[in-house]
A and B are shown apart, each in its own frame.
Chain A
Amino acid sequence: MRARRILAVSILVLAAAAGTVPAAMAQEAAATGGLGWKTSFQVEYFSRTIVWDEKTRSSRLLNPQGLLAIDYEAAPGLDVGLVVGYSLADWDGLAFRGLPFSIENQAGTIGGLVIGAELRKSLVVRGDWEFDAEARFTAGMSKSETLPLEGLAVDGQVDISASWMRIEAGPTLHYHGFELFSPYLGLAFDRIWGRMTMTETIEDLEGSEEKKVAAAGVFALNFGTVYEPSTSFRVKFGGTLIPFSKVGGGLGLDYGATVRIMVAL
């Protein structure tokens, strides 16, 4: 049910990005000319501290993913795109104490589809400096898994399903003064939230618990550089640092990294 809801939201966002926005920009694009399609392959990894049980407990969500993006330059300086890919989310450490037998998830990675949409708008260009706004929405839906529950006097099993969503949006400053490289620095609102459901079946003893989680930190520092040997080929190397408040007090730092290869079609 949850996965269906996420799918519906994602489709709406995708539709907005793929249909409405480009359509609205088409006239401007036609007027300015020089527009086109780009495709990208992206490998991304993030490690985010997630909090749950009313922010009284925490664990980590580790997520390597591969994404394929199709972007359309709807107007000069305006790119909209669709994203699809596959992730291997690791929710280890999440504990379910509302089940008849409490369970701490240590099942490792769970594969699943990722879909999303992205948008980039150039706002200001002054000499070698460019200031733009970037936004991306992605949603991951892990496939359900059934695992045996061991260590009991009788046989039991646990069904797991999980999903997450991520919104990133914020301004980025680019420097184009170098011939081949364009370093950048950006700030972003970067929120991840999701849920994991465990259903326990041990003979006639059954229970189900849904655990809602959210990333502890929401403001990210993005930095990196774009290598651009030609106008039709680019490679982006990026990093993200996200400070957060630890549940037990003190500050922590989450991180992410991305490599994105972009080809103009």
Chain B
Amino acid sequence: MTPRLRQVLFVLAASAAAAYAFQTPPRGLNQTASIGNTFVRSSGDAPAYVPDQVLIKFKSSVAFGMQTDILAAYDATTLSRIDQLGVYTVQAPKGTSAEDLISALSRNPDVAYAHPNHYFRACLTPNDPLFKYQYALSNTGQLIGSVPGSPTGTVSSDIKAPSAWEETTGDDTIVVAIVDSGVDLTHPDLAGNMKSSGRDFVNGDFDASDDCVHGTRMAGLIAAVSDNGEGIAGVAWNCKFLPVKVLDANGVGTSDKVAQGIIWAADNGASVINLSWAGASGDETLRNAVKYACETKGVVVVAAAGNDGGSVGYPAAYDDYVLAVAATDYNDARASWSNTGAALDVAAPGVRILSTVPTWYFSSDSLPYGYADGTSMSAAHVSGLAALIRGLKPTLTPAQVMNVIRYSCDDVNSSAYAGQDTLLGYGRINMETALVPLRLEKN
């Protein structure tokens, strides 16, 4: 061999090595990134595929015996074969990554394709047995109610809770004050997320037990202990709630009591205050109380619009300080009794909503859960979302949190009323849009 020929051969070998090293990643690896983003959204660093396994399919022209010979040539161990597809699952040789093996196999003309053995992860769905009845959180077109003959919902007419829970299920330092009729302090699906026994402004003590039922329903919707194999799931299942009793056994409260309750909640660590009640008239005391909570203490205040079909009630109508919430149903339609007006900010499901009820409410052989309607339920869903946002983005001001909730809504009545309107505000809340990173793409 002449020196010149040796040089040429060396160059050819070097060029081949360089071409091998710097070729674009094999198609399978590009797909990996894409699939990882799709199914492991925002988990970022979870492995997208089994690090040392590869799936291989040979071209149909390659005989079975030849296939095993080829695999043996790469020192790959066959783990299984899907006969119907002719696809092998193989283990890469020790010290060889899946990427390396794919890169080598993809250049073999007998191989139809080779790609990583991807992981697929179930979306975060709590194992609470009654979750399937919570269409508001995840509407699969299920029966709305547990009784045969109940209506069915429209798929995706919900607040997209499971996909949002992939991003966060809440922070246990975030406290939602439920300024209401108290909460059943012994409820098995609530006790674990209760910050304290709260404050009772009706009876003047520190035992905010519920002798109505209303407040216990709100607590379940906002922060029921979830993924515990029992009952329902709360929207902000890792947040805490603080019961503040301002409504009596009939669900009625007065300006002084509700104002006291709001201020006490704001002074005692609440990040969000849920006000699932309304009055036709407001007053300065109530207005100043919500102003104090929002402006002075930095609390997000959420209130129900009201259920009489009239104008938005108070305190929801205090537009500068309170997020006013209307009700939609299992088809994303407005509930006919949901109050209307320019002060409306957003809407959330409020028809046939399953939640916790006090353990004394039904007979002992019944589970302490029941259905109810009302913008109260809608407001509770929104309070749960507000709590999740506060935990995920602690630097946002109450006004910014309120805007995130507004602007992330689905404009479900856009065909008749595009944009913000007096029936549903900006639309039905969407937890996924509010919490999961939006993909910024060029058109």
Contacts and interface: CB of A to CB of B under 8 A. Distances in A.
Interface of A: 45, 56-60, 93, 95-98, 100-108, 147-154, 156, 158, 160, 178-181, 183, 198, 202-205, 207, 223-225, 227, 237-239, 241, 246-248, 250, 253, 255-257
B14 A183 contact: yes
A181 B438 contact: no
22 contacts: A97-B393, A101-B438, A102-B436, A102-B437, A102-B438, A103-B437, A103-B439, A104-B37, A107-B440, A107-B441, A150-B438, A152-B407, A152-B438, A153-B420, A179-B3, A183-B10, A205-B400, A223-B18, A247-B45, A253-B99, A255-B22, A257-B22
A202 B47 contact: no
Please list the 3 inter-chain residue pairs (A to B) with the smallest Cβ-Cβ separation, ordered nearest first.
A257-B22, A102-B437, A104-B437
B437 A97 contact: yes
Interface string B1-35: 00110110011001100100110000000000100
B7 A97 contact: no
A189 to B, nearest CB: 20
B427 interface: yes
Contacts of B47: 248
A201 B13 CA distance: 54
A47 to B, nearest CB: 8
Interface SS of chain A:
strand
B433 A151 contact: yes
A257 B10 CA distance: 19
B15 to A, nearest CB: 7
A216 B172 CA distance: 33
Interface of B: 3-4, 6-7, 10-11, 14-15, 18, 21-22, 33, 37, 42, 44-47, 51, 99, 167, 392-393, 395-396, 400, 403-404, 406-411, 419-420, 426-427, 433-443
Contacts of B7: 178-181
Contact of B441 (A57, A97, A106, A237): A106
B165 to A, nearest CB: 15
Contacts of A207: 400
Given A102-B437, A106-B439, 5 more contacts: A97-B437, A153-B409, A156-B407, A181-B7, A227-B11
Contacts, number: 138
Contact of B44 (A95, A150, A160, A223): A95
A105 B408 contact: no
B18 A224 contact: yes
Contacts of A97: 392-393, 437
A241 B437 contact: no
B437 to A, nearest CB: 4
Contact of B403 (A56, A160, A205, A256): A205
Given A107-B442, A239-B21, A248-B46, A153 B392 contact: no
Contact of B21 (A104, A105, A160, A255): A255
Contacts of A156: 407
B442 A108 contact: yes
For B33, B407, B419, which residue has the most chain A Cβ atoms within 10 angstroms?
B407
Contacts of A160: 440
A225 B434 CA distance: 53
B22 A239 contact: yes
Contacts of B426: 153-154
Given A57-B44, A101-B404, A257 B18 contact: yes
A149 B440 contact: yes
Contacts of A238: 18
Contact of A106 (B6, B406, B440): B440
A205 B441 CA distance: 20
Nearest to A206: B400
A100 B393 contact: yes
A225 B19 CA distance: 12
A151 B11 contact: no
A151 to B, nearest CB: 6
Contacts of B392: 97, 102
B222 to A, nearest CB: 22
Nearest to A251: B97
Given A202-B403, A225-B11, A153 B439 contact: no
A95 B392 CA distance: 14
A65 to B, nearest CB: 15
Contacts of B45: 56-58, 246-248
A153 B407 contact: yes
Nearest to B3: A179
Given A58-B44, A100-B400, A181 B440 contact: no
